[in-house]
């Protein structure tokens, strides 16, 4: 990019004060993969006995790092583990060179932190189709391994940013049979956000003791109602990765019946997903879209994502125009069942349409005033059944074009 974009007006006031997770340490460094004057590589080291679960992009052009992680995540090991991430270069659509770069980096990390290469999970994010200068990353591994710190998570979050305008973090404590476990996570993502299994780059850590099948089941289920329910621009990345690591350092065991832990993990995942939307490229408004009365939950999500991904809907929101006709259009094109004469639409508390027609009591000035808010709630009831879904998106502004027109400059 020619210059860094201004911070999103929807950004939080500051990076949160996250709980320290025993059994994991972080470091970041400036390797110069693409960017100058900022960190662009992060390393996380996990204690022996850590379990790791994950979900990944389903793109047919997914990167070499994603393919490598997909293979490694299948296996269980008591050895320590590591996560290495670079920003600025996605190492995607790079053929055999891409695979060689992944292997070079993961082998070097394994040697630097003394763990098996099969337990090194890598990711790359940035420009697609350019060879990864992996030697620059390898050249920073001594510095990274020497600077590992339990308090380095904010630096790690900053190092994985690309067009992000703020570092994203979230944390909580969860109660498991009267005892507290900690959960903390970081994410990057701003554009190319319409995930189909996983999203962007997300790394979440807990000191709970969780068997891998249990953790994998939780992550896969929660992903469906968090990261898989957001969209910035309807484009699915080649590099989307979500990893959740449980170090077990607390000694507190979590089973599939521990709803308190699952709720804590859900809160962290949803908070990070919302932060990604709030940092959507050029975004000025955070939008929730709730669809009820669908024939099934799946149909409700189909309708909601059709609305969220419509450029006409998103530009109307940017222009603060309560153009509910575009909502009708997006419902009609979704492919899921809908009855025109049963549809009701509301912007926040203002019902603009019902029974397939404009609400007789609707006043345009009220809806126009509501659209000036920076958080917009759109609700649709289809009147067909009990299916429901909520998705989140942002508006589409000139800022999105500016950022992406200059992305490789």
Active-site residue numbers?
Answer: 199
Residue 237 to residues 199, 277, 330: CA-CA distances in angstroms?
8, 15, 23
Report the side by side order of strands in the sheet with 41-46. 24-29, 41-46, 81-89, 120-127
CA count, 13 A, side-chain hemisphere, 46: 27
At a CB cut-off of 8 Å and minimum separation 6, what does 327 contact? 307, 313, 345, 378, 380
Pair 34, 176: CB distance under 8 Å: no
- DSSP output for 147-183: T-BTT-HHHHHHHT-SS-SS-EEEEEEEEETTEEEEE
Other C-beta atoms within 10 Å of 285: how many?
24
- Please state, in angstroms and rounded to a whole number, the distance separating the CA atoms of residues 372 and 350: 14
Pair 265, 170: CB distance under 8 Å: no
3-state secondary structure of 86: strand
């Amino acid at each position: 990019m020619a210059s860094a974009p201004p911070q999103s007006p929807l950004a939080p006031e500051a990076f949160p004060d996250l709980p320290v997770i025993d059994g994991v340490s972080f470091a970041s460094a400036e390797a110069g993969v693409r960017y100058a004057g900022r960190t662009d590589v992060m390393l996380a080291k996990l204690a022996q006995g850590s379990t790791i679960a994950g979900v990944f992009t389903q793109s047919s052009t997914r990167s070499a790092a994603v393919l490598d992680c997909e293979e490694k995540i299948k296996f269980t090991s008591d050895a320590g583990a590591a996560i290495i991430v670079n920003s600025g270069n996605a190492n995607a659509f790079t053929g055999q060179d891409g695979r060689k770069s992944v292997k070079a980096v993961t082998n070097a990390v394994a040697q630097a932190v003394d763990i098996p290469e099969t337990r090194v999970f890598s990711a790359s994010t940035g420009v697609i189709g350019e060879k990864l200068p992996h030697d620059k990353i390898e050249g920073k591994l001594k510095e990274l391994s020497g600077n590992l710190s339990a308090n380095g998570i904010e630096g790690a979050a900053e190092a994985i940013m690309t067009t992000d305008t703020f570092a994203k973090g979230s944390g909580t404590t969860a109660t498991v049979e009267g005892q507290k476990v900690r959960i903390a996570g970081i994410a990057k993502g701003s554009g190319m956000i319409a995930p189909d299994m996983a999203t962007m780059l997300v790394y979440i850590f807990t000191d709970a003791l969780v068997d891998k099948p249990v953790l994998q089941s939780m992550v896969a289920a929660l992903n469906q109602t968090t990261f898989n329910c957001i969209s910035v621009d309807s484009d699915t990345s080649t590099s989307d990765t979500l990893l959740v690591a449980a170090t077990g350092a607390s000694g507190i065991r979590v089973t599939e019946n521990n709803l308190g832990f699952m709720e804590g993990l859900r809160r962290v995942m949803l908070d990070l997903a919302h932060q990604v939307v709030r940092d959507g490229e050029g975004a000025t408004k955070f939008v929730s879209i709730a669809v009820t009365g669908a024939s099934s939950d799946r149909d409700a999500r189909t309708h909601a994502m059709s609305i969220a991904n419509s450029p006409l809907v998103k530009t109307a929101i940017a222009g603060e125009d309560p153009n509910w006709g575009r909502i009708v259009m997006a419902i009609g094109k979704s492919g899921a069942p809908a009855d025109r004469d049963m549809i009701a639409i509301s912007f926040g508390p203002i019902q603009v349409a019902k029974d397939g027609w404009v609400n007789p009591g609707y006043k345009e000035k009220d809806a126009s005033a509501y659209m000036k808010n920076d958080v917009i709630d759109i609700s649709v009831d289809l009147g067909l059944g009990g299916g429901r879904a909520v998705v989140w998106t942002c508006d589409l502004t000139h800022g999105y074009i500016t950022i992406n027109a200059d992305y490789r400059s």
